[in-house]
Amino acid sequence: MGGMSAAPREGGYSGYFGAPPPLTRSMSADAEALEAGRASLQQRLEAAERELREDKEASRGHRLRAEQLELKLKDREQLLVHAKEMWMKENVRASRLADALTAAEDKLADQEKRLSEVSERYAEAQQEVRQLRHLLGTSGGDGAFGGGGAGDLAAGFGADPYAPNSRAKVPASNGFAKNHHNPATTGNLSQATWHTSDLDASRGGGFGVGDELPAMGSPSRAMPSSSPQMSQPLGLDGDTNADRFRRLCLLNDAVLYEDELLQVGVKSEYSGCEGQLAVFFGNKSTAALQAFTVQYFVREEHALRLVASPISQQLEADRQIVQRLAVTLLEPFVETPWLRLQFLLPDASPRRIQLKFPIMLPKFMAGRELSPQDFFRHWRQQSLVLNEVTSIVHLAERLRGPLVHVARSIVFGGALRLHHGVDTNPDNFVLVSQLAEPSGGRGLDQEAQDNLCLIRVEVGSGRFTGKARVVVRSSDHVAAKALVDCIVNQLAEPNAPHASGVSGAR
């Protein structure tokens, strides 16, 4: 057996037929698998290192952002502290100004009291002089005392003849005082007798919204009146669209807008907080107007509700269409609605017209009669004084004649009741009105003090000629502001400047 074994050949043991042994093949395969695993792990390690580097970069960026935000936060905190310090300083300054204002008002009140005393003494001295002249038999006249009245001692708008210390025998101590013994300054006013029924004539109108609008181009319907001097809306006979708007503030039936193509008319009826309107659109051209649309814009939707009926989008030549509107007053408002018309001309070019629509607060008001005692009692109430609104306006040229023109322009068809004998100065107008109770309320109540509005219009003289001051006191500040704006719109020229302010503390 031992002699038959052969030594292995040089070059390794190859076994029979020259094939490698099985153990060698297995080791070679394991080595290849290990190499592949190592390569895979090497790739994963490189990917993990790459992700780690990216995360570090992202972390560094986040850290920088956090530091920047912290710096900004510190800056904001410093600004807040600075703003708080400034606010404290301004608060202290405002307190000092308020104290100074109070002291100035007290001083002004003392000066007015002294002025009232001097006026009374001057009036008494004038009376004594007249008595002495009568005893001595000398001719009339004021002699060395001059022809001025006690009211000439105080010029300007500052004095208030409605103050509790005012006396009926002392004329209004402001720059609006006039010499009422001169017929040239008063015109026909001294001979004219005003009746509030004449001023109220245009309120009712006596028509229904179903009536037809007057023919295009014809003058608007005049307000009925039993007084020949008050039969027409004096001073409102202009033919501009601004004049037409002012006229519709006083009337319920008139033309609102007119040009070479279109005429817009309005007929309306108001009862309490409700109003029914008919708006007429007339095509004056010889061709139809296409894509005719009408839009109404109400800025104070919480105060005024407006509902419009649909209309045809084509307005034929020489034809007229009507649109019905229903308005409801929810609470006092200042801004009047706007009407926008859009249509296509015969050559397909677009046209837009935008204008104010005559729905204002006086339409929902009714005049109220008060005795002078009741008027002054309400006038001095703190709830009305705190809501006072004033405005100084330059009178339009059409109103710088007889004062009857001014009176006709501020009664708003009877919505404001004119009171005679309340103000000692006959050139001043005193009016009273009451706003209808909003929907669901009790309506107009002659005994109620809510929604009461007291108005005073002073017409200037002397160096204040051509100016007027409007003062409104009301239990509602918005109502007072709305009335002042409406009256100023009637008295001033279009786009004319005027000064307004709030006298009461708000």
Query: How is the chain split among helix, strand and coil, in percent rounded to 5?
Result: 40, 20, 40
Average pLDDT, the chain: 77
* Contacts of residue 194, Cβ cutoff 8 Å, sequence gap at least 6: 227, 230, 404, 407, 418, 420
The pLDDT value given to residue 425: 86
pLDDT in tens, 447-470: 455 789 999 999 988 888 889 999
Where do we find the tokens 């070059």?
Answer: 11
Helix (H) or strand (E) holding 185: helix 183-186
DSSP state letters, 86-123: HHHHHHHHHHHHHHHHHHHHHHHHHHHHHHHHHHHHHH
Tell me which of 200 and 40 has the higher pLDDT.
40
Helix (H) or strand (E) holding 417: strand 417-419
Cβ 442 vs Cβ 448: under 8 Å: yes
Question: For the domain 246-359, what is the CATH superfamily, name and number?
Answer: Gamma-adaptin ear (GAE) domain (2.60.40.1230)
What is the CATH code of the structural domain delimited by 363-439+447-491?
A: 3.30.310.10
Residue 160, pLDDT > 50, answer no
* Contacts of residue 195, Cβ cutoff 8 Å, sequence gap at least 6: 226, 227
Half-sphere exposure of residue 372, counting CA atoms within 13 Å on the CB side?
Answer: 7
How many of the other CB atoms lie within 10 Å of CB of 497? 9
pLDDT in tens, 347-377: 999 999 999 999 999 999 999 999 999 999 9
Cβ 300 vs Cβ 342: under 8 Å: no
The pLDDT value given to residue 21: 66
Residue 293, pLDDT > 90, answer yes
State the Cα–Cα distance between residues 123 and 129, nearest whole angstrom: 10
User: Which residue type does 490 have?
Assistant: Q
DSSP character at residue 401: S
Length of the chain: 506
Give the pTM: 0.55
State the Cα–Cα distance between residues 128 and 148, nearest whole angstrom: 16
Q: Which of 238-247, 431-440, 461-470 has the lowest mean pLDDT?
A: 431-440
| Helix, strand or coil, per DSSP, at residue 257 | strand
Phi, psi of 474 (to 5 degrees): -150, 160
The pLDDT value given to residue 135: 64
Token digits of residue 476: 């509602």
Give ranges for CATH 2.60.40.1230 in the chain. Answer: 246-359
Closest of 179, 178, 250 to residue 220, by C-alpha: 250
Residue 226, pLDDT > 60, answer no
Token digits of residue 336: 């009047």
Half-sphere exposure of residue 96, counting CA atoms within 13 Å on the CB side?
Answer: 6
Helix (H) or strand (E) holding 262: strand 262-271
CA 394 to centroid of chain Cα atoms: 20
Give ranges for CATH 3.30.310.10 in the chain. Answer: 363-439+447-491
User: Which residue type does 80 have?
Assistant: L
pLDDT in tens, 24-53: 778 888 888 898 899 999 999 999 999 999
Tell me which of 357 and 185 has the higher pLDDT.
357
* Contacts of residue 241, Cβ cutoff 8 Å, sequence gap at least 6: 256, 257, 258, 355
State the Cα–Cα distance between residues 99 and 94, nearest whole angstrom: 9
State the Cα–Cα distance between residues 506 and 503, nearest whole angstrom: 9
Specify burial of residue 193 (Cβ count, 10 A radius: 0-12, 13-18, 19+).
exposed
User: Which residue type does 229 have?
Assistant: Q
State the Cα–Cα distance between residues 453 and 432, nearest whole angstrom: 6
